[in-house]
Amino acid sequence: MSTSLERVKLQVADGTTMEACVARPKTENGPGLLVLQEAFGVNGHIRNVAQRYAALGFTAIAPELFHRSAPPGFEASYGDFASVQPHMSALTTEGMLADMRAAYEWLTTDAKISAERIAAVGYCMGGRCVYLANAELPLAAGIAYYGGGIAPALLDRAAKQHAPILMFWGGLDTHIPPEQYRAVADALTAAGADHEQVVFAKADHGFNCDERPSYNPGAAQQALALALEFLRVHGVLR
């Protein structure tokens, strides 16, 4: 299926303007997807993810969550933490939620996608964003890849999760040790949230990204298959 890639400007509730990358499928009347970035910006990998999902029929939007501190189109090389640290430090939970709401509303208004067919997927920082968004937005499903920083700071939001959430973790990930992702799972279970937890024992942080040394093609392929089935089971992908 052919896809197109474009940039759009969104007005955020706090008065700021945010750019986003949009990948559209050739056909209409498909589902919508928030694609939430890693710490390195809406880079080539995130754009590729959006296009891959667009090829499956999704209208995918990747908002630039660093827009308050970085210029439009900002992206950094993997491993260049010095470039991204100021923008990571400038992020606030309230700001990220406002940004994700603006992108969600673009899907419902501009792309005219109904709420029961809008999901979110995110990676690393974006995985944490999926968890946050699912506590505030009427998503139909959420998929979080190795979302750091959820435990212990955000465990109180487990009871607010609106939609089923699928979470992927790497067994070799030293950034998110087992006690942290187990704490997330325990908090969601205790809250009665609908969640699935998958640990790839031989995968490291960033295992889904084919531009990183930690790329694990087997884990990435299995995770995508599970993600798509998860979206089908919950009515997003038909």
**What residues act catalytically?**
124, 173, 205
Check if the beta carbon of residue 122 is closer than 8 Å to that of residue 144.
yes
3-state secondary structure the chain: CCEEEEEEEEECCCCCEEEEEEEEECCCCCCEEEEECECCECCHHHHHHHHHHHHCCCEEEEECCCCCCCCCCCECCCCCHHHHHHHHHHCCHHHHHHHHHHHHHHHHHCCCCCHHHEEEEEECHHHHHHHHHHHHCCCCEEEEECCCCCCCCCHHHHHHCCCCEEEEEECCCCCCCHHHHHHHHHHHHHHCCCEEEEEECCCCCCCCCCCCCCCCHHHHHHHHHHHHHHHHHCCCCC
- Beta carbons within 10 angstroms of residue 198's beta carbon: 15
Rounded to the nearest 5°, which phi and psi values hold at 8?
A: -130, 160
Q: How far apart are CA 18 and CA 40, in angstroms?
A: 17
